[in-house]
A = this chain, B = another copy of it.
Amino acid sequence: MTETHTINEEEIAKRWQKFAHVSPYNRELGLLPHAVRTDWCVLKVEYQEALVGDPQTRVLHGGVITALLDAAFGFAIFVKLPEIRPMATLDLRIDYLKPATPGRAILGGAVCYKLTAELAFVRGAAYHDTPDDPIATAVGIYMFTSGRPVLRNEDVPR
């Protein structure tokens, strides 16, 4: 991978962040781009007491994992498109494999593995260290809704 690509990935991450942080909900979760590759986009959520589901175990709430994966899916589709297009989650399936470790940040990685004019198919995983030891895995389908692009990616040098 060349230097030029790395710079562009940073640009795309910034662009996404600017777009995503308009959302109060995303801001509250504090989701941050962690890695940008067309075959694996990663967002990160830091451990926060406010996101705990069970105070006894101090494990983060399952809803945080879901929101992280949903956002990572949007991010993974975004990097495959020339622009941000309005889209809606059509469906989502999440399998929970083990509890997150209290005190540790969680990564949410995703890839858009099929893209048509109307639909985007994605899969991903939430994990601490590697997708091969997942906290949760997920698949989803997103549908592009009618309307003009929200933000064009073509201004971002690739």
Q: Which residues of A contact B (CB under 8 A)?
A: 22-26, 28-29, 49-55, 60-64, 66-67, 70, 88-97, 99, 113-114, 118-119, 121, 123, 132, 134, 137, 139, 141
Are the CB atoms of B67 and A63 closer together than 8 Å?
yes
Q: Separation in Å of the A117 CB from the closest CB of chain B?
A: 11
Are the CB atoms of A92 and B67 closer together than 8 Å?
no
User: How many copies of the shown chain assemble into the complex?
Assistant: 4
Are the CB atoms of B23 and A53 closer together than 8 Å?
yes
- Other A-B pairs, 20, CB within 8 Å; known A63-B70, A113-B134: A23-B52, A24-B55, A25-B50, A25-B51, A25-B52, A25-B64, A63-B63, A66-B67, A66-B92, A88-B99, A89-B94, A90-B96, A91-B96, A91-B141, A92-B92, A92-B94, A93-B93, A93-B139, A97-B114, A137-B139
Contact of A22 among B25, B55, B70 (CB under 8 A): B55
Q: Give Cα distance in the complex from A113 to B146, angstroms.
A: 23
Are the CB atoms of A66 and B66 closer together than 8 Å?
yes
Contact of A91 among B49, B64, B95 (CB under 8 A): B95
Are the CB atoms of B123 and A137 closer together than 8 Å?
yes
